[in-house]
Amino acid sequence: MTLIKFDHIAPIYDHFMLPFERGALKRWRRKLWEGVKGGAVLEVGVGTGANLPFYPEGGAVVGLDRSVRMLRRARGRGLEMAVLGDVEALPFGDATFDDVVSTLVFCSVGDVAKALREVRRVLKPGGLLHMIEHGRPEDWKGPLFDLLNPLTVLLMEEHINRNVHAAVVAAGYEVLKVENLTGDGLFKLIVARRPPDPRYNRGL
Ligand SMILES: C[S@@+](CC[C@H](N)C(=O)[O-])C[C@H]1O[C@@H](n2cnc3c(N)ncnc32)[C@H](O)[C@@H]1O
């Protein structure tokens, strides 16, 4: 059970995020999107469309989210291809996208392994997953986040002590880059490839 859902906070989400956007977040977003070359791109958990200003010119970006009200805001901001859906069961065929992007999404996904499998399925072999995600800090704050996690999950379905990098490795991606954005491991930029190795295509 979760008390607060993204549908509830959609009207205030951008106001809440403004100080973070004005801080480092905008810079991190730009850095992530510099690595997305265009072609067929899927943004999962597109939210209110905070990444729209950084989308590649001439690219076809599909934005997916499970919150109607967040998605509606993204459309208002100019998102043309908006899809209501769950990253754990993506409504796309195998090997559809060149790139998949997620920013601040995997903290609130129910089954991370399942979602990463789905993303891998819809990526073309050799396609890239680009993420900015937060997780368990690697310093003294780690145990504190463990302590607070049940509360944030109850309140907002927000997992604050995940190791997304480890989950990406476990899901069979080839990790090309991990940048520790905050120094303490709280925020990371991860770029990972769906291996072209046919072993990973079995059952897809
Ligand atoms: C913290 S917001 C981030 C929004 C946006 N990516 C950003 O960077 O501002 C997380 C978004 O992920 C969406 N989300 C969470 N779990 C999801 C899932 N399983 N499938 C699709 N969207 C999901 C939420 O509805 C919400 O819009």
- pLDDT tens string 114-137: 999 999 999 999 999 999 999 999
Tokens of 168: 């990406």
Q: Which atom of ligand 1 is nearest to the CA of 86?
A: 20
**What value, to the nearest 5°, has the Cα angle with vertex 26 and ends 15 and 195?**
120
**What value, to the nearest 5°, has the Cα angle with vertex 25 and ends 24 and 28?**
90
Please determine, for residue 16, whether its predicted confidence score (pLDDT) is greater than 60: yes
Q: What is the pTM of this model?
A: 0.95
DSSP category for residue 89 = B
Q: In the structure, which protein residues have their CB atom closer than 6 angstroms to any atom of ligand 1? A: 6, 44-47, 50, 65-67, 70, 86-88, 103-105, 108-109
DSSP category for residue 54 = G
Interacting residues of 167 by C-beta distance below 8 A, sequence separation 6+: 106, 112, 113, 116
For a substitution probing ligand 1, which of 66, 84, 86, 158 has the most ligand atoms within 8 Å of its CB? 66
Nearest CA to ligand 1 atom 26: 47
Please determine, for residue 204, whether its predicted confidence score (pLDDT) is greater than 50: no
Which helix (H) or strand (E) segment holds residue 76: the answer is helix 68-76
Domain 11-40+85-196, CATH class in plain words: alpha beta
The three-state secondary structure class of 31 is helix
pLDDT in tens, 143-178: 999 999 999 999 989 999 999 999 999 999 999 999
